[in-house]
Amino acid sequence: MTAAPTPDSIADPSRRLAPVLAQIDRLAGLGVPALAGMSATDFRALGTALTTMEVPEDALVVINPNLVAPSLLTPLLRRGGKAGFVVEDMTDVDEFTSIPTVDAPSAQLYLATAVERGDDMLNWSPEEALAAFAERARSPLTLSEGISWLLQQPEMLAPGKCFMCIGSRKPKPDGALDSRVPALWISGGTGRDGRERKGAPKVGWCWARNRHTWLGFASAGRRLG
């Protein structure tokens, strides 16, 4: 008898997302409406409104940070029964906003299509990834988009194949960008993470010019909303 696949063994970037309304039901079941300060009925109505558009089969439902902030969504992430968390030295996580080249809809829920993890970009720098996205007519995922994806497909976060969300950066008062880039990966249970968090989904950051052999760069084809 063949053993059931584990989350790590089925981390296939080509796996299809569920239909939009099924994704909405999943988010409602996770408790997103309560975090948004609205009823499940009203939340589902937002999702139904998305279906009035021509929805591609590969569409991901994204929770706009103006509806629920990343810091509130992160604990809903799960891996091996462990809840997601934001690293302790990123208390300003909700101040990371979309970079100018990311045309994210203002709708409370919107769609991102053709989402990819960016495995071919492992060990690239954020600067190199941004240049490649421009050539490929793709757009880097924001942190909220990355979290929204993992809420639907938690298996996309796999050992050695995690990802940065370089569509989000924190602006400084002088107009420059903070040197940190948000990323989603798996805690090793060391340092301030705590041993009890080993294997848990983690929102952290990397320096904007650094390379990591285990971090790719997630992106989308387009956004609708």
pLDDT digits (tens, 9 = 90+) for 82-113: 999 999 999 999 999 999 999 999 999 999 99
Q: Is 135 exposed, middle or buried (0-12, 13-18, 19+ CB in 10 A)?
A: exposed
Q: What is the model's pLDDT at position 74?
A: 98
pLDDT digits (tens, 9 = 90+) for 110-141: 999 999 999 999 999 999 999 999 999 999 99
Higher pLDDT, 88 or 11: 88
Q: What is the DSSP letter of 216?
A: E
Q: Is 221 exposed, middle or buried (0-12, 13-18, 19+ CB in 10 A)?
A: middle
Confidence of residue 72 (pLDDT cuts 50, 70, 90): very high
Q: What is the DSSP letter of 161?
A: B
pLDDT digits (tens, 9 = 90+) for 155-178: 999 999 999 999 999 999 998 999
Please compute, for residue 224, the number of CA atoms within 13 A of its CA located in the half-sphere on the CB side: 21
Q: Is 154 exposed, middle or buried (0-12, 13-18, 19+ CB in 10 A)?
A: middle
Q: Helices 40-50 and 20-30 sit at what angle, rounded to 10 degrees?
A: 160
Domain-by-domain residue ranges, the chain? 20-224
CB 188 within 8 A of CB 162: no
Q: What is the model's pLDDT at position 5?
A: 33
pTM comes to 0.92
CA distance 157 to 13: 10
